[in-house]
Structure 1
Amino acid sequence: MNDYREFENILQSSQDEQIRKKVVIIEYASIVLTILCLLSSGFLAFFDDSMTAMAVSGDSLLDILVHLIVLWRYYKPLNFNPKKMDKYASILLSILFFISSICIEYESIRNLITHTKPIPSLIFIAISIGQSITFSLLSIYKFYLAQNFTQSGALISSGIDSLVTGISNFSMALSMGIFVMNRRIWYLDSSFGIGIGLVIFIYGVYLLISVVTKD
């Protein structure tokens, strides 16, 4: 019986090590894709004077930090103080989620108050749709890896971050597409932003509480 358990533990450790290597690769890919997102949105913000694209650029910077933290968490072997690394990574991620939610809420509420309307851009819609599909697929793969991973806390947070990025890009494309068809409906982008900001804030609170109350 003890031999069977020992074999099972060795098998699980081997599986975790394989998944850890895949996580490192997928986080590198996430960083590269987020940098491309940052550059494309920055390009649109500069040439089209788009506040929405500027907000996406700022959010992309925070996303890069999120992926760097998760990469730091899983870059080392699994026997390198995994519980402490999970705790530190989760605390840092919760702080970044708080900062991201505050920035999104501020920008969205300010745009609603000042009646700031988006600048129609078919290029921006196409880029947003592409980024939405890409980051949504990334999040699905991260959640898939987390299913069989014994140390998946930071990976789940990274998956949620990628999912939020995908949803944000889709909401921007949808709201701008509706605005192009009906110029009176200008407030959807900011309204979506408020909802997304609240979701990010709630998850940040949940993540921080789960770390603090964890034995």
Structure 2
Amino acid sequence: MSEGGGAISLQEYSGGSGLINSEKAELLEVKRRVDLTVAVRLRRAAIVVSWLSVLFGFTQGVTAVVYASKLSSDTLFGFGLNAILDSTSSIVVLWRFHSKDLYSESREQKACLIIAILFVVSSTSLLIMTILTLVKENKEKQLVTLSILSLVNGCSNLVLGIVKCGIGYKLESKSLMNDSVITFVGAVISFSAFLATDLYEHNSSLWYIDNVFGVGCSLFLYLFAITLFYQFCSRGSSVQS
């Protein structure tokens, strides 16, 4: 089959001979980045990586929150909250790809809107946590535990983010690519905390470095969410007109 997918459904692709009639194919033919066979495999890959993100994010989040309560660590609590929101974002992506259409514009738009809302929640919680830590001048005490968790979380989020972004690009899925953004932000937060612990061991006056990164990440998520809301409203206006 030539490069084309349009709104071709999975049922049409898998049913009978796997082909639709030539007239319908011509009407629905839209040039895509990958052919339909590859797109079906990538859809499965998107579902698998999203499930991995859900399971890992939830496990990572609960672990970080538990350690945060035991060690009175605002940084670990921020890790945990961001990981849980990342997990929730991946659930939205799973909903988007459990669709009969490989390229469902309607589900893409709805998923992007929900992810934008999650961005606002994530950025707000992150900003509040970092500001409270700066005001209280709360300095981390269990540096070894924080270093290990932040390094593991950072490396895992970086790999997941790259995979999500690659699959999302090939499938032309903005929801999956937007989901990768919050994963990358989680990686940045984790690596900044790892760097901050190393700097703190050499110079205790630099205890606030990871909070500075936290403020920067929260502002970035705010701006990204505003962009997504604007795109959603613009498409809605163009459809009505």
Question: 1:16 aligned to 2:46?
Answer: no
Note if contact 1:120-1:180 (Cα within 8 Å) is conserved in structure 2.
Answer: no
How far residue 196 of structure 1 moved from its aligned partner, in angstroms, is 0.6
Question: What's 1:7 paired with?
Answer: 2
Question: What's 1:100 paired with?
Answer: 122
Structure showing greater Rg = 2
Q: Which amino acid aligns with 1:32?
A: L
Q: Which amino acid aligns with 2:212?
A: S
> Superposed, which structure 2 residues align to 1:70-149 within 5 Å?
70-78=93-101, 82-149=104-171
Give the superposed CA RMSD: 1.8
Q: Aligned to 1:66, which of 69, 76, 89?
A: 89
Normalised TM-score (structure 2):
0.80
- Report the identity percentage: 19
Normalised TM-score (structure 1):
0.89
Note if contact 1:20-1:74 (Cα within 8 Å) is conserved in structure 2.
Answer: yes
Note if contact 2:168-2:176 (Cα within 8 Å) is conserved in structure 1.
Answer: yes
Cα separation, partners in 2 of 1:67 and 1:23, compared to 1, 3 Å: same
CA displacement, residues 48-97 of structure 1 (integer Å, 9 cap, x when unaligned): 12121122222222112111111111122325x81111111111110110
Cα separation, partners in 2 of 1:59 and 1:148, compared to 1, 3 Å: closer
Question: What's 2:70 paired with?
Answer: 47
How far residue 180 of structure 1 moved from its aligned partner, in angstroms, is 2.2
In 2, Cα distance between equivalents of 1:75 and 1:181: 50
Larger mean CA deviation between 21-30 and 185-194 belongs to: 185-194
Unpaired runs of 5+ residues, structure 2, are 6-33
Q: Where do 4+ consecutive residues of structure 1 move more than 6 Å?
A: none
Aligned residues: 208
Note if contact 2:199-2:206 (Cα within 8 Å) is conserved in structure 1.
Answer: yes
